[in-house]
Amino acid sequence: MDKIYLNQMQFWGYHGLFPEENKLGQRFNVDLELELDLHPAAATDDMTKSIDYGAVYEVTRAVVEGEAKKLVETVAQSLADKLLKQFERLDACRVKVTKPDPPIPGHYQSVAIDIHRSRL
């Protein structure tokens, strides 16, 4: 399966269990791996046979910067659901949502959720 990658998109969201996270917000990074057959687009040089990266970015922004969720897991699932619903050519997607600065004591780079969803 062919893939389109959108890497390290950065957004400001209000997701988390703690009231401070919902009030102050924090950074979220998103990586997407979109699975689809790119042969028709490549063979014809026709964008309508692919997926518009800008439209994918806007869907991602709307989800991550939209309604606050308690769990990053829910953010990732919501994004996968929206992508599969909005883009008919998309067969499957991998969504990785990284929270660089979660309010957890200790030393670490980040926490992340990585899911893979496909059409049933």
**pLDDT, tens digit (0-9, with 9 covering 90-100), for 55-83:** 999 999 999 999 999 999 999 999 999 99
**For 93-101, what is the mean pLDDT?**
96
pLDDT value at residue 101: 86
- Residue 112's alpha-carbon distances to 27, 71, 99, 115, in angstroms, are 12, 11, 6, 10
pLDDT at 12 over 80: yes
49 flagged as catalytic: no
- For residues 113 and 64, give the distance between their C-alpha atoms in angstroms, rounded to a whole number: 13
Question: From the candidates 49, 70, 85, 99, which is the catalytic residue?
Answer: 99
The CATH architecture one would assign to domain 2-118 is 2-Layer Sandwich (3.30)
Strand partners, 118: 92
**Which residue shows structure tokens 């919501």?**
78
pLDDT value at residue 104: 83
Per-residue pLDDT reduced to its tens digit, 19-36: 999 999 999 999 999 999
